[in-house]
Amino acid sequence: MSFEILRIDDKIFSQINGKSYKKDCPLPVESLRYLRLLHKNLDGKTLDGELICNVEIAADLIEIFQKLYAANYPIEKISLIDNYDADDELSMRDNNSSCFNFRFVSYTKKISLHGYGMAIDINPLYNPYIKMVNGVQSVEPANGTPYVDRTKNFPYKIFEDDICVKLFAEHNFFWGGNCWDDAKDYQHFFRGDVNR
């Protein structure tokens, strides 16, 4: 396996239909692409990865992941979120990096940029989404609480000068770790509306 961009064929569609590609998804399947790629984990082992994204960012993601791979940047796993029944919390808890999943932004009725295949989450367990909701701190995934304190050092941590942040920025992606005052989404890289 190497780095490839493929159309969504019948076999792949059968995997995502009714899961990440829900019946009310407004995005035509023709606008999605299936990516096969390589990545390395913390031990330096080369692993196969797969994700689905919008055709508009497919070539950029391939280039980014090629450079991350060449730099030995650790990513624990990259698997279709459909392997978790498109349950974002389950995928994040397992530190799975993923992209397309038709869903809404947490605590809103607005379609997430993941729902358009225009956002990707990298090593989400160690780079949680943190937001105050009704005066209470919400952390997603729930088991990501130990990684809320960004002054600590731990594996798979994404930070401001990280090569991952720099590569995504070079390809005109925003990083959720420095976009908003009311929330931090350290796992999240996206192209599109910075106001979510």
List per-block mean pLDDT (blocks of 10 residues) for the chain, which spans 196 residues: 94 98 94 98 97 98 98 98 97 98 86 95 98 93 97 97 97 96 95 75
Q: Tokens for 97, please give them.
A: 């990096």
Give the structural domain span for 32. 4-190
pLDDT of residue 174: 97
Q: Beta strand pairing status for 183-185 and 129-133?
A: antiparallel
Closest by Cα among 156, 187, 183 to 173: 187
What total of structural domains would you count in the chain?
1
pLDDT of residue 195: 66
Say if 124 falls within a structural domain: yes
Say if 132 falls within a structural domain: yes
Say if 68 falls within a structural domain: yes
Say if 156 falls within a structural domain: yes
Say if 196 falls within a structural domain: no
Closest by Cα among 53, 61, 62, 32 to 100: 53
Say if 195 falls within a structural domain: no
pLDDT of residue 1: 66
pLDDT of residue 145: 97
Say if 76 falls within a structural domain: yes
pLDDT of residue 192: 86
Say if 170 falls within a structural domain: yes
Closest by Cα among 98, 125, 110 to 19: 98
